[in-house]
Structure 1
Amino acid sequence: MPEGPDPQDLVEVFKALANPARLQIMAWLKDPEAHFEAYQPIADRRSVGVCVTHIQAKLGLAQSTVSSYMGTLERAGLVRPTRIGKWTHYRRDEERLARLAREIGTAL
């Protein structure tokens, strides 16, 4: 009989998404072209992600706060970082999100 999802893993995901700003970031990253069209992309948003400076500008929060938020989302496995020069770009980990949706469906 296969084991279910790791409850601690799900707790970390729920904690990461419990913050309204982090939840908003995840929603924006679902369609980066629409939500970050006002910002000149440094790289392809679909394949590489959105530059953290653009996320910071859109949120209107301090760089350190946004970096902390992105670190939390990354540790929870919700986003993947890509470094381009001195800039870090983030995109959603859609494969992980789909797996989490299935795990939540079976765990709850």
Structure 2
Amino acid sequence: MGEFQVDLTHLVEASAAWGDASEVLSTAAISAQAIQDSHKEIIWGIFADAWTAQAKAAEYMHDRLAEASTETHAIENVLAHVAKVYGAHDEELAAAIARLHGDS
């Protein structure tokens, strides 16, 4: 089996980056929702079909962006959890090594 190393700093940084991505995607989803919800009071006349198509496209984009935000947030949580577990394991291992050397 190959050697496996984990850099906790990189895990925490990656988790934060996924969190940032989630926030940006959420903001974009809100913007798409604003497009969909805007100008509903206007009677579009000959442009009604075009506006309806744009509103449907905005709804689709909102749904996909919101979904992406949810998934990136989930990745952020998983990476943060992994970092926490490995960090705790490292602390336990360091304490055990210190006890073996009589440093406690």
Shorter chain as normaliser: what TM range?
0.3 to 0.5
Normalised by the length of structure 1, the TM-score is 0.31
Structure with the largest fraction of helix: 2
**Which structure is larger by alpha-carbon Rg, 1 or 2?**
2
Higher RCO (CA 8 Å, separation ≥ 6 residues): 2
Normalised by the length of structure 2, the TM-score is 0.32
Structure with the largest fraction of strand: 1
